[in-house]
Amino acid sequence: MCNETNNNCGCIQEILKRILLLQKQDFDNETYSGCDKPFLGPTCTTICYNTRPIMLYNCCTGSTWTFPYTLNGITGESMVFRIEALDECCCTCRVLALNGDGQYVSTNDFFTIDLNCVGAIKCLADTFIELC
């Protein structure tokens, strides 16, 4: 594991916790920007978004984490995910796939990752995703 001597996932965990609360619409009215923005979408009056897609980067190599999925009988790999649960330094994510329109769609494929193996996250534009 990349971070065996320093078991501290606090920074990334806090950002993911904020995103998870936003997706559940359980947030306060604090003002943030970027990954910490306290609402989904371009303005706080927009309620048509339910997901802040993320990419996770390996702490050892800097490469993006990718995970396989199967959607409508087609298999592939994706590096874009939706946070579904957070428990200490463990994060459960849903794999998102691109459809023909360039939009993300949810799959029924999940994984749990130790946040000590994540060196960075990238937040993508907020979107609406039909959850399976």
Gap between the Cα atoms of 44 and 124, Å rounded = 17
pLDDT at 118 over 90: yes
Domain boundaries, the chain: 10-123
pLDDT digits (tens, 9 = 90+) for 68-97: 999 999 999 999 999 999 998 999 999 999
- The alpha carbon dihedral of 123, 19, 118, 14 has a sign of positive
Instruction: Tell me the pLDDT tens digit for each residue of 13-71.
Output: 999 998 998 888 754 445 556 676 666 666 655 457 889 999 999 999 999 999 999 99
54 neighbors 96 (Cβ within 8 angstroms) = no
Q: Which residues touch 11 (CB under 8 Å, ≥6 apart)?
A: none
* pLDDT, the chain, mean: 84
